Structure 1
Amino acid sequence: MTGRKTYEVVAKRWKRGWELHIAGAGVTQSRTLLDAEGMVRDYVAALTEAHPDSFDVVITPEIGAGADGEILDLREADREAEAARERAAALRRNLARRLDSLGLSGREIASVLHVSPQRVSQLLDRARERGGRRGATS
């Protein structure tokens, strides 16, 4: 995680665009949801004298009609999928290193992992950066 401040924003629709409720900072507006992040950055920068790129912005639109819960569910599913991808990458690196230590060639490791030999080289290089063993095998 970074030490950057994150501004949580709830975007509420109204007839002229979006009302942007910035937690701990106030409220501003945007004509479109696409412009909302820029408006929040400009507002917070003016308020705090921080550079507009020095903080993070997370916008959650309030749409109604039952869509809000689905939006939150989708965001959670995306977070879970990213965590699963990170776990799979770590498992793949560790297994590549283990197969390498057992004497399998780079091409054999590629076959086991269903990746290219070039990807095996990358995996083993990353494993070595983290304290792995022997030279390239692909």
Structure 2
Amino acid sequence: MTEAIAFVAQIDPEAVEIVVVPQLPHDLDSEVRAAKEAVRDLQEQQATAAQLSRRAARRLREAGLTGSDAAVVLGISPQRVSQLLRDSG
């Protein structure tokens, strides 16, 4: 297809770029945009939760709790506490 466009336009086929932009009905387009926004919001919330979890795990360890005790307090596995502590350093 790029060759045909280049031939008609009398330009180098390498200069032809085809961009496909789907056209959705308005209600479906709105729904897709809302879904994408919800995903972005969730990603932001996950990043915030991870940051808060790292800080809490670090503070619990600084307060003298073991990794196992910190895990119980945070409601996560001891392995996850170790991971959070590694990621916070």
Give the TM-score band, short-chain normalised. Answer: 0.7 to 0.9
Unaligned stretches of 5+ in structure 1? 1-27, 29-45, 49-58, 129-138
What number of residue pairs does the alignment pair up? Answer: 74
AA aligned opposite 1:96: A
Structure 1 stretches (4+) deviating beyond 2 angstroms? Answer: 59-62
Paired position in structure 2 for 1:86:
47
TM-superposition CA deviations, 1:77-122 (whole Å, max 9, x none): 1000000000000000000000010001101110111111011111
Unaligned stretches of 5+ in structure 2? 3-13
Paired position in structure 2 for 1:71:
32
Partner secondary structure for residue 93 of structure 1: helix
User: Are the equivalent residues in 2 in contact too, given 1:106–1:117 (CA < 8 A)?
Assistant: yes
Q: TM-score, normalised by structure 1?
A: 0.49
Note if 1:105 corresponds to 2:66.
yes
Q: TM-score, normalised by structure 2?
A: 0.73
Largest Rg, 1 or 2: 2
With over 3 angstroms needed to count, the CA separation of the structure-2 counterparts of 1:125 and 1:86, relative to structure 1, is same
Q: Distance in 1 between matches of 2:51 and 2:76?
A: 15
Question: How much identity, in percent, do the aligned residues show?
Answer: 41
Q: Which has the higher helix share?
A: 2
2:86 corresponds to which of 112, 125, 128 = 125
Q: CA RMSD in A?
A: 2.2
With over 3 angstroms needed to count, the CA separation of the structure-2 counterparts of 1:63 and 1:103, relative to structure 1, is same
